[in-house]
């Protein structure tokens, strides 16, 4: 089975990798839907609630501080390193990710080659003027006052991620669509493929003549579309394919 992935990569001239939370579990960041995942602890706060309720903003910042204590210590794992190697070899043109942890960039993939569909949780930004803010500064101010941070322009400051109910980032969506249309091999890794519109890209690739590989511990709803489904662990599998330890 793993040999089949190596063969498809060997035949590909332009591959795209698409990742979900599963690629980062081996770095110690829990995914959403596995037992013990983030959803078993917290109900997500919808974007409209964040905008309309000061208490929702306060709760969002409390959670962000709690989650960040684990996430900020995470290092890229073997799966990230293997993907970075495929990008460095020119085999993979870009990495479309649902993740917000910045670990693809930390493993050596350039910012230009990572398409973040759900934003980036390693910094914050004003929802009005997009001014960037560093988390350490925001956390210190919030811990001192329990006031949700606001920008000089008056806008609310929020982690630079896309919440449920928040519009998708237009440029990232356009780039992901173009990459999905122009690849000949689309490899979906560590995603349950149930969060839309992100999960539409495997089908876009397939409809445009690409082969589709799904590497995920559990079956997904899109397995029926795939040329190859590998229900395996990500790090060991990609490590074997690339020779990365």
Which residues, 6 or more positions from 165, have their beta carbon under 8 angstroms from its beta carbon?
Answer: 46, 47, 48, 49
Stretch that binds ligand NAD, among 96-104, 128-136, 166-174, 177-185 (CB under 6 A): 96-104
HSE-up of 91 (CA within 13 Å, CB side)?
20
Q: Is 25 exposed, middle or buried (0-12, 13-18, 19+ CB in 10 A)?
A: buried
Using CB under 6 A as the binding rule, whether residue 163 contacts ligand NAD is answered as no
Using CB under 6 A as the binding rule, whether residue 160 contacts ligand NAD is answered as no
Among the listed residues 82, 233, 239, 241, the single contact to ligand NAD using CB under 6 A:
233
**Minimum separation from the CB atom of position 90 to ligand NAD (A):** 26
Among the listed residues 12, 18, 25, 180, the single contact to ligand NAD using CB under 6 A:
25
Using CB under 6 A as the binding rule, whether residue 200 contacts ligand NAD is answered as no
**Minimum separation from the CB atom of position 28 to ligand NAD (A):** 10
Using CB under 6 A as the binding rule, whether residue 34 contacts ligand NAD is answered as yes
Residues classed as catalytic: 118
| CB-based closest residue to ligand NAD | 22
Using CB under 6 A as the binding rule, whether residue 20 contacts ligand NAD is answered as yes
Using CB under 6 A as the binding rule, whether residue 216 contacts ligand NAD is answered as yes
User: How many angstroms separate the Cα of 219 from the Cα of each of 166, 222, 224, 240?
Assistant: 28, 8, 10, 21
Of 198, 196, 225, the residue nearest 212 (C-alpha): 225
Using CB under 6 A as the binding rule, whether residue 101 contacts ligand NAD is answered as yes
Using CB under 6 A as the binding rule, whether residue 31 contacts ligand NAD is answered as yes
Using CB under 6 A as the binding rule, whether residue 22 contacts ligand NAD is answered as yes
**Contact in structure between 184 and 103 (CB atoms under 8 Å):** no
Cα–Cα distance for residue pair 53/69, rounded to 1 Å? 25
With residues binned 3-state (H G I as helix, E B as strand, rest as coil), the percentages for the chain, rounded to 5, are 45, 20, 40
**Token couple for 117:** 């569909």
Interacting residues with ligand NAD (CB under 6 A): 20-22, 24-26, 29, 31-34, 37-38, 98-101, 118, 190-192, 195, 216-218, 233-234
């Amino acid at each position: 089975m793993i040999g089949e992935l190596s063969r498809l990569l060997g035949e590909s001239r332009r591959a795209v990798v698409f990742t979900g939370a599963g690629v980062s579990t081996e770095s110690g960041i829990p995914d959403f839907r596995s037992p013990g995942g983030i959803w078993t602890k917290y109900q997500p706060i919808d974007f409209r609630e964040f905008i309309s309720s000061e208490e929702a903003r306060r709760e969002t910042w409390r959670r962000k501080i709690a989650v960040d204590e684990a996430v900020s210590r995470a290092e890229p794992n073997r799966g990230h390193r293997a993907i970075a190697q495929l990008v460095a070899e020119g085999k993979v043109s870009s990495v479309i990710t649902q993740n917000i942890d910045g670990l693809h960039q930390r493993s050596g993939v350039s910012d230009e080659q990572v398409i973040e569909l759900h934003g980036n949780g390693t910094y914050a930004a004003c929802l009005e003027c997009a001014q960037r803010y560093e988390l350490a500064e925001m956390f210190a101010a919030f811990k001192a006052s329990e006031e949700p941070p606001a920008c000089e322009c008056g806008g609310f400051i929020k982690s630079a991620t896309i919440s449920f109910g928040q519009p998708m980032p237009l440029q990232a969506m356009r780039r992901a669509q173009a990459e999905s249309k122009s690849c000949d091999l689309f490899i979906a890794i560590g995603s349950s493929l149930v969060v839309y519109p992100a999960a539409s890209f495997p089908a876009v690739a397939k409809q445009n003549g690409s082969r589709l590989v799904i590497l995920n511990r559990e079956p997904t709803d899109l397995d029926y579309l795939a040329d190859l489904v590998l229900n395996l662990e990500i790090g060991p599998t990609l490590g074997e394919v690339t020779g990365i330890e």
